Chain A
Amino acid sequence: MSSEETVQTIIRKAKDILAKQSAEDFLSYVESKTSELEKSDEILESIILWQFVAETMENFEEDDYLAYAYSKLISRYMLIDNISKAEEIYKESEDKDLSSFHLDTVKTIFAGRQQIKGNREIIKIYRMDVFGDLELIPASPNTYFENVSLIRRYVHNNLAEGTFSVIILNHKNNTEEEIEISTETLSEYEVISMNEKVRMN
């Protein structure tokens, strides 16, 4: 059977699974087949199949699966060094506002290679003292990040030891998020904790 026939057979079977079973089974089937193809270096065939998954899932309005297919497409185009196609899919995923663990990972790799500006920007950093009180510290790195892990890495590399509350502006949807990051070396303790609030005369 030629590669083209193989792909067409897989697509027919996948459509059948989607009609009779679930989107999950459909994805699982295509994934197992693309994995087999990739093991014999048939990356282009794998790309055709992921393109088919993306189109199908778009019609089904299954954003998680669509994001997964996009992550596969970006990474597979990168594998064959077709950067312009990878960038096209990257931008499409941005326009569609897709996000998932896999897609974020792949987009970070791609953005790293192409030095694309990320969406997240640190706008405020607070340092936490021993009482849990927050104090604003100077921070306007004006640096953009692709995902939260990268922000963690930035804080670890650039701030002194401490626990910080970092406010991030996501330029994509103009929302703010807050993450707590500790750059201290932590040890495991059995903590006996007493908290009291008292009134003074």
Chain B
Amino acid sequence: MSEKQPIWGSARYFLKLEPYTNVFSTSMSALVSFFDTHGLINEKECRNLQEIARTVYEFWATILAPHETRVARWIVEYLSEINIVGDYSLILRLLRSDEDVAGDLEDLIKDTKSVVTEDFEKAFDIPEDTKIIGHEVSITRLPEDDYLRNELLQKILEDNKYQIPSTIKSRSQFKLPNGEIATTERENVLGIGETQRDVTLFSSLENEYDEPITEVEIVDEIPYYFEVEDLGIDNLEIDPTKEKKEKVLEIIWEIPEIKPKEKIEISYKLAKRINRTILEIVQNEVIAVLNTFENITPKGLEFSSHTKYINIHNRPLHELHIVDEIPPEFSIIRTNPEALPPTGIIEKAKLKGINIIWKQKNVGVNQTLEKIYTLDYFPYLFRGKKIIVNEEGRTIFKVAKFILPSEREMGYTVLYIIKNVMSETTDMISLMDKLPINHTIVGRTPEESQIMEQINDEGDKIITWIVETPPVRKNTTLKVLVSGDTPPLFEMFNVFIGDKEEKDVLEKETTVRREMVKSP
């Protein structure tokens, strides 16, 4: 936890650094705040180490004659107090230097080309249905200066890191009654899955013509970042074929005929993989970068991932860097071997998730490096908000549902809030929600809340909270504690006012992202 520390030579002025990561690097960001004995004077969000160092220097310089060496030493000692190992010489250099490192690095990279990766795929035991994406980067020379060398390797890693897509391309081809071949193309958006780990994808094709279309082929391009756990096409017994392309797994559905106005829907249940970037310094002028994708599998109440790397070059590698980007819904429990600096570093960056970084020098020919990660869900918060409008389109109620996880095996808490915006109704409100069948309500606040439980035709547990309408501009809330050792359902609830039900959905939006929020 960051605390404000006095500026050396002053009893009245203090500085506080709040880094957004636990790992010292030139790309680390932080909030730098400046205080006097009364309180905060000013603060600045800094995007990198150089900006942090200079901001500290500038705050310092407003009240005392500045000395770069003292500022650098102060920063290193401050970071050390919060368990970050800094580098005095580097900070001093950044304070003194005007050099534009990024511009210089650009000049060192000659070119980048794709390479064939079949040999790597065989050696690495990669998951079925994935490929390795490979690039070879030619550089003029590896800088002898450690700082520049690290920055260059970091840049190559960043430039060649696999960018996780937010949409998935789907294309189709079919024959029209007149014999012409028509094609379509669309980007499908990923949806949230039944559990935190999954995402869903729906791909569809509607015959908008008045006559049947034939010889239909729908191709969904699934990035290797996603493992296909399940897939299906409605009402049809068709198995797709799969083709591994350079960056995507093509799933090809052949449908003999689609009737007029008929819509074919394909659904996928996908699971995220670990996005691994491997950088091999093969020679002084040649650097290979490989992108691989590692499965995460459930193991009891936890998740596990087993990765393998082998040096298949016919020479030892000077240096090897592996960066494993863990999908944001997971946190890391342990690694095997243990990640201990400087060889293994677990970087936790605020709002960005976790990277596990391995650096190894002198990797022998055929030397194998295996890593096993044990993962758990990152603390999640489900936030469902529903705005209810009347026939005139005016908002009458706002209703929210929050799900908060409790300790492992202790279940979770669901909080429902109903706000009466402008309704004069005296009818009772019913809020209907779904729970997994094996989950049980073990507590409720207020205790006298009226909750009905029943099982519907699909075998889901339906709970209905029946409550009086709160006065205009007032809220009413219900908190239930649910016991269950599987994840909750991340689904929206339904609201009834008296005997009136929801007629149609006017807008709907779903997102999953890392946020700083207060537990409601």
Contacts and interface: CB of A to CB of B under 8 A. Distances in A.
Binding between chains A and B: yes
Contact of A200 (B67, B490, B503, B514): B503
Given A112-B41, A198-B386, A200-B500, A192 B512 contact: yes
Main secondary structure of the interface of A (DSSP, over half): mixed
B40 A150 contact: yes
A150 B396 CA distance: 39
Contacts of B508: 194-197
Given A189-B515, A190-B378, A198 B192 contact: no
Given A197-B387, A201-B500, A182 B518 contact: yes
Interface of A: 28, 35, 38-39, 41, 43, 71, 75, 78-79, 101-102, 104-106, 108-109, 112, 129-131, 133, 147, 149-150, 152-153, 157, 161, 163, 182, 184-201
A187 B506 CA distance: 32
B520 A187 contact: no
Contacts of B502: 198-201
B503 A198 contact: yes
A113 to B, nearest CB: 9
B510 interface: yes
B350 interface: yes
A187 B379 contact: yes
A192 B61 contact: no
A190 to B, nearest CB: 4
Interface of B: 33-34, 36, 38-44, 58-59, 61-67, 98, 192, 196, 328-329, 350-351, 377-391, 393, 396, 398, 400, 417, 419, 475, 490, 492, 495, 497, 500-520
A196 B396 CA distance: 14
Given A130-B520, A131-B398, A198-B502, A190 B63 contact: no
A99 to B, nearest CB: 12
Interface centre among A108, A149, A161, A188 (most CB of B within 10 A): A188
B247 to A, nearest CB: 26
A82 to B, nearest CB: 15
Contacts of B380: 189-192
B190 to A, nearest CB: 13
Contact of B196 (A39, A131, A192, A197): A192
Contact of A79 (B64, B350, B389, B495): B64
Given A35-B66, A150-B40, A194 B385 contact: yes
Contacts of A104: 42
A197 B381 contact: no
Nearest to B55: A101
A180 B40 CA distance: 18
Contacts of B58: 102
B383 A101 contact: no
Given A195-B510, A196-B385, 10 more contacts: A38-B66, A109-B36, A109-B63, A130-B400, A188-B515, A192-B380, A194-B382, A194-B384, A196-B384, A197-B507
Contacts of A71: 62
B512 A191 contact: yes
B388 A198 contact: yes
B329 to A, nearest CB: 5
A78 B13 CA distance: 14
A38 B506 CA distance: 66
A201 B400 CA distance: 20
A190 B40 contact: no
Nearest to B403: A192
